[in-house]
Structure 1
Amino acid sequence: MRETVRWRNAVFAVFFAMGFGFASLAARFPTARDALDISVDQLGLALLGISIGSIAGLSTASHVVARLGTRAVVSVGVVVVGVGLAIAGWGVEARSMAVLVVGLVVTGLANGITDVAMNLSGAANERALAKPIMPIFHAFFSFGTVAGAGFGALGEATGLGMGPQMTIVLVAIGALSVVVRPRLVEQPIQPEDHVGFRERLSVWTDARTWLIGGLVLGMALTEGSANDWLALLMVDGHDFDPVGAALAFALFLTAMTAGRLAGVPLIERFGRVAMLRATGALAAVGLVLVIVVDDQVVALVGTALWGLGASLGFPIGMSAAADDARMATARVGAVATIGYVAFLAGPPMLGFLGEHLGLRDAMWVVLAFVLLSLATSAVAREPRTASGAPDPAAEVRP
């Protein structure tokens, strides 16, 4: 049990580091836009780099993890994410769009592979603990994003350059990788039965994979649109200054974190589907407030509801994807790939709409995807035993 707890804490730390790194960069996107003297849609195209890298990483992740193991992939992957962030930060310092895009592609590639590996490690850990704690792992990602947004706001307020700031992030993530590597349990999710290359690919022909993917796609865009555009939306759409916009982003992340921490007992009490529907409704209301009401206080209330609403969709989707433990590696990779299409199409799509309609009106598209997730939420229902009761063994799978 002690080893399992150390393993759990190591996965907590990895999720935290991944959130901290990206949010440190995302909180300063307004500064990056101004430094590079680019438009909103040009920034969206730059962010396409991280999306392309993520899709490439996710599409190969199950095969990489099957060959190298979760420990190696996670411990090396987080460091490569930090390297990509540092390259992106120094690209802004050098006023070079090309260097920024290279850094974002490297970040996305490493993030895609590491994301699957850390979710698999977390899924296996929750099985070992016999408790559905996946939302808490994702809460630690949110803790990291809150801290990262705060670090970004601090950098903005003190005038710290994005290059030095992202270098600090790289050093911190590198140190964390050294500490957590021996505490991660190797390849825990993979059962003794070998799942070959062809069998891993077969999950793409399963309708349930696509339905869960649609759920995750909608909630990924709900969360990702805020990560990419909320700070700039608050500057351009609600007349916040850059520091205030960074703090609004921190509010979103704080609300999302609170939702994930509260998620475990609520899911145990009400079930996955009820919680998906409740949080999806909160996200819809929050988005409408941010889009429609021209008031800074109401915009902040809407931001908080948006954050709460985005809190459980992705972790519940990962749990549902791994209900069949034998095919968990392949299906989690497939569902994550479908979900990350939101990060591929989202930045340029919302950037284009934001440039021509304004970012507030661009968020109507995000609302439509929230409704998509609500429509497919039943697919995440917990497996049942022959007696009709929830299967405890299945519930603790990711």
Structure 2
Amino acid sequence: MTAPSLPAPARAVALAAWAVFAVFFLNGFNFATWASRLPAVRDELGFAESQMGLLLLFMAVGSLLALPLSGLVVQRLGAARAVVIFATINTAGLVTTAFAVSEGADWVVRVGLFVTGVGTGVWDAAMNLEGAAVEQRLGRAIMPRFHAGFSFGTMAGAGLGAVAAATHVPVQWHLAVAVAVSLAAVLWCVRLFLPAGKPDGGGSRLADDSRGADPATAVPVHGPGDDRSRGARSALSAWTEPRTLLIGLVVLAAALTEGAANDWVSLAVVDGFGTDNAMGAVGLAVFLTAMTGMRLLGTGLLDRYGRVAVLRGSAGLALAGLLLFGLAPSLWLALVGVVLWGMGAALGFPVGMSAASDDPQRAAVRVSVVATIGYSAFFMGPPLIGFLAHEVGYRSALLVIAIPVVVGLLVVGAARPLPTAAGSAGAAGGRSVEDGDLPGAKDRPSTVERPN
């Protein structure tokens, strides 16, 4: 990294980019730490497929109740404080859930998952909003790399889960230690987020010069003290914007494709091919690795081909992977399908978040709307697949995801950059951050993705 040699504003953005990347990583790590132990949770509770689906529904409900207000919460608290508070809630929920599983306390498990869902939903929205602010300051696409950070975290969580399952580490001690360490890291990382500015009675903030930011190049960052009545009206109006809703539909399809794999691939491998729990965790790790690799490649693909072409190609890969996994006669061939599935699921969510944040002034409310729509699938879809799996088995049930993939494919044109996106991004001018200072970056011109 060469960040120390950069001018103060550019160095602040470079450090914020790395901090956001790390927070995405830790969010993914917490989720996969839980998801990788689902077979053990199922065994300890003695639940059938439909009961597991109902159990996961409690986390979904928690997130869906929290997400619609997440934009206003982040505007009032600022991204850093929102991440700290709701990462703490997420951690408390997971620890409660893990120890309740070990005691067989079904209802405490459900309460713990509900709390986990609340923490997960707002934490996720807050880090995406901070990522959008950093992306606007950079003037080029970087959101896929932040989501690659999430994927790296899920890989680490799934890998650790596979080791814990293979060595028979109790679920409660595995989760408690892992998420406690994760929370400590979150508390350190948020100190490097972009400054939110100070209340001035207005609606949005410029990232002030408290860390050397140049007001002429700053992008609005919503922080504490925003006018709540105006914020509420703005949030409601975003739900009437056709482009925002269609982007939400694209993200919904991608989120269901990703979320179903996170929740059910491990169990589908175990039950579908009669293998052990450790191999189920390996199946999840294969999916997450493929998705991570695609997210690292995503920025270059977006710069070269544009959002719409990349999203269409991604949908094709996801569809092929789903069909292969659900219909393959052997485990190794099904794992090839998992690779294609992971590649196809990789870019829909981050590209949708970037599209929703094209206009910095409306980024907070639009990202909140898109995240709410997307997570309605990410959290609600997989539990419903669990009910279907009770009738037809996990692998066959997962084939239903092909339907929203096709629907998303039909509306990807909504993700084209706004006519003002290039101008606002280019307004920063000059050298903001060197490519080598960004997570996973390669040397290339500082350009904004071309419209399709």
TM-score, reference length from structure 1:
0.95
CA distance in 1, matches of 2:193, 2:118: 22
Q: Alpha-carbon deviations, 1:257-279, whole Å to 9, x = none?
A: 00000000110000001000111
1:383 CA drift (Å): 2.2
Which residue of 1 is the match for residue 295 of structure 2?
260
| Contact 1:75 1:181 (C-alpha < 8 Å) held by counterparts | yes
Residue 177, structure 1, aligned to residue 212, structure 2: no
**Equivalent of 2:276, from 232, 241, 245?**
241
| Contact 2:26 2:186 (C-alpha < 8 Å) held by counterparts | no
Q: Alpha-carbon deviations, 1:217-262, whole Å to 9, x = none?
A: 1110000000110000001112221111101100100000000000
Q: Amino acid of the residue matched to residue 404 of structure 2?
A: F
**Equivalent of 2:118, from 105, 109, 128?**
109
Which residue of 1 is the match for residue 339 of structure 2?
304
Larger radius of gyration: 2
Which residue of 1 is the match for residue 328 of structure 2?
293
Which residue of 1 is the match for residue 204 of structure 2?
none
Which residue of 2 is the match for residue 98 of structure 1?
107
Residue 364, structure 1, aligned to residue 396, structure 2: no
Which residue of 2 is the match for residue 374 of structure 1?
409
Q: Alpha-carbon deviations, 1:145-178, whole Å to 9, x = none?
A: 0000011111101111111111112321221123
Q: Alpha-carbon deviations, 1:334-391, whole Å to 9, x = none?
A: 1111111113431332011100011111112111111111111110012236xxx965
1:43-62 aligned within 5 A: 43-62=52-71
CA distance in 2, matches of 1:150, 1:79: 23
**Equivalent of 1:9, from 18, 23, 42?**
18
- Structure with the bigger percentage of helix: 1
**Equivalent of 2:237, from 202, 213, 220?**
202
Residue 67, structure 1, aligned to residue 76, structure 2: yes
| Contact 2:72 2:231 (C-alpha < 8 Å) held by counterparts | no
- Matched position secondary structure for 2:239: helix
| Contact 1:283 1:308 (C-alpha < 8 Å) held by counterparts | yes
Structure 1: unaligned runs, 5 residues or longer: none
Q: Alpha-carbon deviations, 1:159-205, whole Å to 9, x = none?
A: 11111111112321221123113211233543699653212211111
Q: Amino acid of the residue matched to residue 269 of structure 1?
A: R
CA distance in 1, matches of 2:28, 2:183: 15
CA distance in 2, matches of 1:176, 1:377: 36
Residue 393, structure 1, aligned to residue 429, structure 2: no
**Equivalent of 1:190, from 200, 217, 221?**
221
**Equivalent of 1:167, from 162, 176, 180?**
176
CA distance in 1, matches of 2:345, 2:195: 31
| Greater CA drift, 227-236 or 190-199 | 190-199
Q: Alpha-carbon deviations, 1:44-76, whole Å to 9, x = none?
A: 100001111111111110111111111100122
1:208 CA drift (Å): 1.4
CA distance in 1, matches of 2:268, 2:129: 34
**Aligned alpha-carbon RMSD (Å):** 1.7
| Greater CA drift, 35-44 or 161-170 | 161-170
Q: 1:191 to 1:353 in 2, by over 3 A?
A: closer
Which residue of 2 is the match for residue 329 of structure 1?
364
CA distance in 1, matches of 2:18, 2:270: 37
| Contact 1:135 1:312 (C-alpha < 8 Å) held by counterparts | yes
Q: Amino acid of the residue matched to residue 290 of structure 2?
A: A
- Matched position secondary structure for 2:419: coil
| Greater CA drift, 172-181 or 213-222 | 172-181
| Greater CA drift, 238-247 or 132-141 | 238-247
CA distance in 2, matches of 1:284, 1:390: 32
Q: Amino acid of the residue matched to residue 257 of structure 1?
A: T
| Contact 2:16 2:193 (C-alpha < 8 Å) held by counterparts | yes
CA distance in 1, matches of 2:177, 2:144: 28
**Equivalent of 1:279, from 314, 318, 321?**
314
CA distance in 1, matches of 2:296, 2:132: 17
CA distance in 2, matches of 1:393, 1:6: 19
| Contact 1:87 1:103 (C-alpha < 8 Å) held by counterparts | yes
Q: 1:377 to 1:391 in 2, by over 3 A?
A: farther
| Contact 1:70 1:186 (C-alpha < 8 Å) held by counterparts | no
| Greater CA drift, 202-211 or 295-304 | 202-211
| Contact 1:214 1:373 (C-alpha < 8 Å) held by counterparts | yes
Q: Amino acid of the residue matched to residue 254 of structure 1?
A: T
1:42 CA drift (Å): 0.4
Which residue of 2 is the match for residue 156 of structure 1?
165
Q: Amino acid of the residue matched to residue 393 of structure 1?
A: A
| Contact 1:79 1:173 (C-alpha < 8 Å) held by counterparts | no
- Matched position secondary structure for 1:186: coil
Q: 1:237 to 1:374 in 2, by over 3 A?
A: same
| Contact 1:383 1:391 (C-alpha < 8 Å) held by counterparts | no
| Greater CA drift, 170-179 or 251-260 | 170-179
Which residue of 1 is the match for residue 259 of structure 2?
224
Q: 1:264 to 1:97 in 2, by over 3 A?
A: same
1:5 CA drift (Å): 1.3
TM-score, reference length from structure 2:
0.84
Q: Amino acid of the residue matched to residue 75 of structure 1?
A: V
